[in-house]
Amino acid sequence: MTSPAQIGPILLVGFMGAGKTSVGAALASELGCGFVDLDAVVEQSAGQPVAAIFGAEGEQRFRQLESEALDEVLSIGTRRRVIALGGGTYVQLENRHRIARSGALVVFLEVALEEAMRRVRNFSGKRPLAASQEAFAKLFEERRSAYEQAHFRTDTTNKPVITIAKELAAWVREQERR
């Protein structure tokens, strides 16, 4: 049987605008545990914002830094915490393997394309991959099958952050009882 202490990291995956960061922070507070935003870890280690990394060194270099940051946060230990991944993190096969080996619980935050576009509209300067609507929509379709490999999913489209956080906290507690 799994005891509560054995529930390790809870990873939130999903497209840009799915609400990974806001739901992640709310879920961590529901569960009374720490919260880590992977983009913030990358920015801290690179000493510059994500958009600047893309601009100066390209997406490939960003993916490399992102994988290193993932490795770092998953190596910290087995205690419970919530980690919001970037929209592309779980799409990279090696990252999915790394995550599977870690035993983390993976949650897919779904969002309708129109809602994702609406949510990131004001932040496209911060998100290099949200600069073109066509490319954004194409990526949205291409990534779905990767996100669907998560253990659990919930749609964030018309739900308040706190409702989603409570729903996920209940699911995590259910996993603890198994």
Q: How far is residue 69's CA from residue 63's CA, in Å, rounded to a whole number?
A: 10
The interface region with ligand S3P, picked from 15-23, 25-33, 73-81, 107-115 by CB under 6 A, is 15-23
Residue 91 or residue 169: which is nearer to ligand S3P going by CB? Answer: 91
Q: For residue 125, how many other CB atoms are within 10 A of its CB? A: 10
Q: Shortest distance, CB of residue 128 to ligand S3P, whole angstroms?
A: 6
| Residue 129 in the binding site for ligand S3P (CB under 6 A) | yes
Q: How far is residue 169's CA from residue 6's CA, in Å, rounded to a whole number?
A: 16
Helices 50-57 and 38-46 cross at an angle (nearest 10°) of: 60
Alpha helices, DSSP H, located in the chain:
20-31, 38-46, 50-57, 59-75, 93-102, 113-120, 133-147, 161-177
Looking at residue 95, the DSSP 8-state letter turns out to be H
| Residue 46 in the binding site for ligand S3P (CB under 6 A) | no
Q: How far is residue 53's CA from residue 132's CA, in Å, rounded to a whole number?
A: 18
Helices 133-147 and 113-120 cross at an angle (nearest 10°) of: 120
Residue 7 or residue 69: which is nearer to ligand S3P going by CB? Answer: 69
Residue 61 or residue 173: which is nearer to ligand S3P going by CB? Answer: 61
Please select the residue that binds ligand S3P; options are 27, 50, 107, 172, rule is CB under 6 A.
Answer: 50
Q: Shortest distance, CB of residue 149 to ligand S3P, whole angstroms?
A: 16
| Residue 127 in the binding site for ligand S3P (CB under 6 A) | yes
Residue 19: left if φ>0, alpha if ψ -120 to 50, beta else—which one? left
| Residue 88 in the binding site for ligand S3P (CB under 6 A) | yes
| Residue 8 in the binding site for ligand S3P (CB under 6 A) | no
Residue 7 or residue 39: which is nearer to ligand S3P going by CB? Answer: 39
| Residue 119 in the binding site for ligand S3P (CB under 6 A) | no
Which residues here bind ligand S3P, judged by CB under 6 A?
16, 20-21, 39, 50, 86-88, 127-129
